[in-house]
Amino acid sequence: MYQVLYRKWRPKTFDDVAGQEHITTTLRNELQNNRLNHAYLFTGSRGTGKTTCAKILAKAVNCLNPQNGNPCGECEICRGIDNGSVMDIVEMDAASNRKIEHIRDIIDEVQFKPAKCRYRVYIIDEVHMLTTEAFNALLKTLEEPPGHVIFILATTEVHKLPQTILSRCQRFDFHRIPPDDIAARLLYVANQEHAELTDSAAMLIAAVADGALRDALSLLDRCIAISNNIDDKVVRGAAGLAGKEYLYDLAVSIINKNTARALEQIDRLYGESKDMARLCDELIAHFRALMLIKSVRRPRSILVMSDEEFEQAQTQCDYLSLADIVYYMDVLSRAYQRMGHGTGDRTELEMALVKLSSPELDATNEAMAARITALEKAVKRGITAAVQEAPVPPEQPKQEAQPKPSEEPAEQKPADPPKAEPEQEKPKPKPPVQKPQPMPQPSPASDLNEIYQNAKPFPQWVEVVESLKPISRTIAAAFSGTSAYESGNYLLIDSDSETAFDLLRMSGQRQQIRNIITEITGKVYRLGPYRRPEQKKEKTDPMLAFKQQLKDGGIEVVEE
């Protein structure tokens, strides 16, 4: 009969246990120094090795030839425990044996000495499921058991245990296994099973397992059933995951408020039999990654993703605030909670995407907070630039003021015709006031030359480039190593890279740079390229240059 991988490759010694060195080292030292406790409590999330370590400990305390605190696995006791023929090791599931009668049976049995082993070991799994009466019946025996009895309690919900039980046990907290340790174990198992597993596929399985090695081995078992050459595509198919490209495309649709495209992508994924609840959970995890990139100083060590995916995530972060990301996660989390309770999963996800693409449809407090944050950001960064552009509108008031004198003479003409002529002469002085025409002065070459000649180095430019890094690494990289010059209201940027000037031509990127400059200096500048003095060249006639080349080549040129 075929044996599943998580049972076949269950660790036999403490050295084989992955990711729990803080526990296995302590247990080995206790065994070597013969400092055994009468009651142990193993707690932690699923698949982290609680029951496995309990069975290894039960073998180690009874092994006839222990090796550095590990069971030998070859003696009669070790083999008997593995095949279940030794009756002195009792494993009980408290979820199905939770009543006081079951605990009384244990209390009666502990009085008898073990038949083959040195210790009678009771492993009680999911101990938090015991009733209050069962806990009370176990207290006295747990506190002062006979010298030949060891209790090992295991649970995933330690907060449900009474304090009287906790105080009588030596507690070990099992951590979630790091993704690197899970991936290393998966690669070893796949090699032993004669399967080809890529490193990226192993990391993907580790990410899906969420710290549970048993779940990772179960997923690897499914992948091997599909193909012996396991890559990311096989893992996604076995786990029912949406491809990462779909997640990034969905996120882009949400950021760009493109409702139609988002719904089309959901329809395509649904047609490919993608699980909508799992897709929603993946979207939440994706925005969680963006939240960590926004909040944590070194997020790369926390996030499990490839370098290319990390770069794409950083790019998306440039277009979102932390409030936006938290709002997206909240809407998706509420949709995930409602899935499976009446409305179809696809409908819930579609409604969530519509809310994210059209925030005005969401009337929750979180949506209002996100919209207020966006308005505050617009006021802080956008109004300053808008006020600075205010010198252009004065042309409109002056044009609106002109009709009033023309209306007055129209009303006064019938009553007092002689005064109509002086009234008409009054608008004549106004053309000199119409000096908005000098505004388009940057076009003449003489004024441009004055701007370049009066340009002085701008010392705060290095600080501006550094301040751009948290907002956009792309912009900061483009302007790294550049310099800037100040000339009146102009800030001229000197760069050898054309990428920097391409960014300046984009209104959105230019506004971000201008906002940073305003925050640092308190002034609003007009941005433009700097023309170096040495780049100025005298204008030469192309025909004269051509004639000179002919003369230099010995060809006589006849000038008419």
pLDDT higher than 50, residue 394: no
Tokens at 86, concatenated: 């030794």
pLDDT higher than 90, residue 40: yes
Sheet-wide strand order for 526-529:
456-457, 483-487, 490-494, 526-529
491: confidence class by pLDDT, cuts 50, 70, 90:
confident
What per-residue confidence (pLDDT) applies to 244? 73
Does residue 323 belong to any structural domain of this protein?
yes
CATH of the domain at 95: 3.40.50.300
Tokens at 314, concatenated: 């950083």
Does residue 62 belong to any structural domain of this protein?
yes
Taking the C-alpha atoms of residue 530 and residue 448, their distance in angstroms, rounded to an integer, is 11
Residues paired with 41 in a beta bridge: 153, 171
pLDDT higher than 60, residue 538: no
pLDDT higher than 90, residue 495: no
Tens digits of residue pLDDT in 420-438: 444 444 444 444 444 444 4
Length of the chain in residues, anyone? 560
How far CA 71 is from CA of 48, 112, 152, in Å, comes to 20, 25, 17
Taking the C-alpha atoms of residue 470 and residue 459, their distance in angstroms, rounded to an integer, is 21
Give the chain's mean pLDDT. Answer: 78
Does residue 545 belong to any structural domain of this protein?
no
- Coil, helix or strand for 121? strand
β-pairing, 120-125 vs 149-155, is parallel
Q: Provide the H-helix boundaries in 152-212.
A: 163-166, 179-192, 199-209
**How buried is residue 298: exposed, middle or buried, by Cβ count under 10 Å (0-12/13-18/19+)?**
exposed
Over residues 107-128, the mean pLDDT reads: 88
Q: Could you please report the per-residue DSSP string of 353-368? A: HHHHH-GGG--SHHHH
How far CA 250 is from CA of 208, 279, 292, in Å, comes to 20, 10, 19
Taking the C-alpha atoms of residue 249 and residue 71, their distance in angstroms, rounded to an integer, is 52
Tens digits of residue pLDDT in 249-285: 888 888 888 888 889 989 988 888 888 898 899 899 8
Domain boundary among 188, 208, 239: 239
CATH of the domain at 222: 1.10.8.60
Does residue 342 belong to any structural domain of this protein?
yes
Taking the C-alpha atoms of residue 206 and residue 185, their distance in angstroms, rounded to an integer, is 10
Q: For residues 121 and 248, state if they share a domain.
A: no
Q: Which residue type does 19 have?
A: G
Count of domains in the chain? 4
Of residues 35 and 445, the one with the higher pLDDT is 35
Tokens at 555, concatenated: 């060809």
What per-residue confidence (pLDDT) applies to 429? 46
Q: For residues 91 and 187, state if they share a domain.
A: no
Residue 291 structural domain: 244-380
Taking the C-alpha atoms of residue 250 and residue 262, their distance in angstroms, rounded to an integer, is 6
Does residue 216 belong to any structural domain of this protein?
yes
How far CA 362 is from CA of 183, 336, 344, 357, 532, in Å, comes to 41, 16, 20, 10, 53
Q: For residues 193 and 213, state if they share a domain.
A: yes
Q: For residues 160 and 184, state if they share a domain.
A: no
Q: For residues 87 and 108, state if they share a domain.
A: yes
Over residues 355-359, the mean pLDDT reads: 79
CATH of the domain at 333: 1.20.272.10
Q: For residues 59 and 92, state if they share a domain.
A: yes
Taking the C-alpha atoms of residue 143 and residue 348, their distance in angstroms, rounded to an integer, is 52
Domain boundary among 333, 351, 380: 380
Residues near 538 by Cβ (< 8 Å), separated by ≥ 6? none
Q: Could you please report the per-residue DSSP string of 39-62? A: EEEEEESTTSSHHHHHHHHHHHHH
Domain boundary among 380, 410, 425: 380
Please tell me the pTM assigned to this model: 0.56
